[in-house]
């Protein structure tokens, strides 16, 4: 199995772990941060010995951001709607029940 395939498969696994954490009571605001952290751990933990640590960290960031989506993750962390103001409700993917 190719190394790239293993890294690609980490994305839905992290997405699932983040969803489990959300259902266990983690605030929607911190789910994207958890996913990026798990992505960094996966990128470093699944690192190919022939590549540098910087490449592994970058791959981890890509994995984590892919798991949540850059835009929706930023909206959740900042608590803002698309117009820049707090909406009072969470319409993002992670906020749906």
Residue ranges of the domains in the chain? 3-80
The pLDDT assigned to 80 comes to 63
Burial (CB < 10 A; 0-12, 13-18, 19+), residue 5, is exposed
- Could you give the angle at the alpha carbon of 89 between the alpha carbons of 87 and 95, nearest 5°? 130
Q: HSE-up of 30 (CA within 13 Å, CB side)?
A: 9
User: d(Cα 43, Cα 61) in Å, to the nearest integer?
Assistant: 8
- Please give the residue that has the higher pLDDT: either 90 or 24: 24
Which pLDDT band holds residue 72 (cuts at 50, 70, 90)?
low
Stretch 71-92: mean pLDDT: 59
The per-residue pLDDT for 84 is 52
């Amino acid at each position: 199995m190719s190394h790239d395939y293993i890294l690609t498969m980490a994305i839905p696994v992290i997405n699932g772990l983040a969803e489990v954490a959300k259902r266990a009571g983690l605030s929607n605001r911190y789910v994207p941060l958890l996913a990026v952290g798990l992505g960094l751990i996966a990128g470093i933990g699944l690192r190919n010995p022939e590549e540098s640590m910087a490449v592994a960290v970058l791959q981890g960031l890509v994995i984590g951001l892919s798991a949540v989506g850059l835009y929706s993750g930023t909206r959740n962390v900042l608590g803002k709607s698309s117009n820049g103001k707090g909406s009072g409700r969470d319409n993002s993917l992670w906020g749906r029940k």
